[in-house]
Amino acid sequence: MSDSLNTHRIGVIVVDHGSRRAESNEMLEELTRRSISERLEYDIVEPAHMELAEPSIATAFDRCVARGATMVVIQPYFLLPGKHWKQDIPELAAEAASHHPGVEYLVAAPFGVHPLMADVVRARVEYCLAHVRGEVPECEACAGTGACHLRTGAPVEAAAG
């Protein structure tokens, strides 16, 4: 970290798209509170949803500043760069920052092709296979949805009938 950044108290906003499904929004909020906050060296970490749900980026930005942040890093919880990362999130971040003169912000890159993503894919595949073998319970994403079970392909005509 550069010397100029060392003078800042950094807040982190983890932002996803947002969903009409409350359960999906709660997953990001829980992940932010439980896992991400514990693993980051910053004590100001807030969840946000780009749209469709609260807290918004503006609300999370306000909370970071209220907790003492003088710089806010907005980390998109997205896999690949697209319109939301290139345009929507920067616009929402600029609007949120406009209410806090002197507070700097940065929109970080999506996870993309980071080498650790291969480890995440491997871990998810191995866990799901262990689940269908009856070795482990459903993962947190699938718990209670009935979505995590082994299926057999059927001809399209048979499936439609």
User: What CATH number should be reported for the domain holding residue 101?
Assistant: 3.40.50.1400
**Whether the Cβ atoms of residue 49 and residue 25 lie closer than 8 Å to each other:** yes
Q: What is the pLDDT along the chain (161 residues), one digit of tens a residue?
A: 444 566 689 999 999 999 999 988 999 999 998 888 888 889 999 999 999 999 999 999 999 999 999 999 999 999 999 999 999 999 999 999 999 999 999 999 999 888 899 999 999 899 989 888 889 888 877 777 777 766 667 665 654 54
One domain, residues 141 and 101: no
pTM over 0.95: no
One domain, residues 103 and 128: no
Distances (CA, A) of 98 to 26, 51, 83: 28, 19, 22
Q: Which domain holds residue 11?
A: 3-107
One domain, residues 86 and 131: no
Number of domains in the chain: 2
One domain, residues 87 and 137: no
One domain, residues 93 and 128: no
One domain, residues 45 and 95: yes
